[in-house]
Structure 1
Amino acid sequence: MINYSPLWETMRQRDVSTYTLIHKYGINPRTINNLKHNKSITMFTLERLCEILNCEPNDIIRFEKK
C-alpha cells in the first residue's frame, strides 16, 4: 500500500504548503488530492516533487504491506 506520510513531514520541514505546490510550482490540485488520499501518482510527479523539495523519493513515499 502506498503511503505519502513522509511527504507531509518533508513539506513541514521545508516550510512548503500545498498552496505553494499548486500556485508557485503548478502542481495540479487533483494530484494534491491523490496524495492526501494515498492514491497513485506518476513518476514524473514524484520526480517533480523531489526537485521542488530537494529530497529523495523515500522522503515522499513509503510502501507498506497490507
Structure 2
Amino acid sequence: MCYAIYMQADYRKLWKLLIDKNMKKTDLIPIAGVSTNIVAKLNKGEYVSMDSLAKICKALNCDIGDIVTFGEK
C-alpha cells in the first residue's frame, strides 16, 4: 500500500514579517518581482515555486525559514 504525504505550506511567518516591516501583501509584487497570482496563492496557502520564494527572500533580505513552514496536510 502506498501513501502519498503532502506538505502544507504555512506562510504566516511571511505575513508577520510584512507587518513588522510595515508592508502590505501587495507590496511584494513590485519589490520581489512576483505576480498577483503568486500573492493570491500565498494568501490561500497554496504551493508556490522555490524560485518565487527565493525572490521574496531576496527582496526582504531573509531566509526561507523566515517566511514559510511546512506541515503534513
Give the TM-score normalised by the residue count of structure 1. Answer: 0.85
Name the counterpart of 2:41.
34
Unaligned runs of 5+ in 1: none
Is 1:63 the equivalent of 2:70?
yes
**Does the 8 A contact of 1:2 with 1:40 survive in 2?**
yes
> Higher relative contact order by CA 8 Å / sep ≥ 6: 1 or 2?
1
Deviation, 1:26, is 3.0
Name the counterpart of 2:12.
5
**Does the 8 A contact of 1:2 with 1:38 survive in 2?**
yes
Unaligned runs of 5+ in 2: 1-7
Which of the pair is proportionally richer in strand? 2
Considering only aligned residues, what root-mean-square deviation do their CA atoms show, in Å?
Answer: 1.4
What per-residue deviation string (whole Å, max 9, x for no partner) do you get for residues 6-61 of structure 1? Answer: 11001111122122222444320000010011111111111111011111111111
| Counterpart-to-counterpart distance in 2, 1:35 and 1:44 | 13
Q: Partner letter of residue 34 of structure 2?
A: I
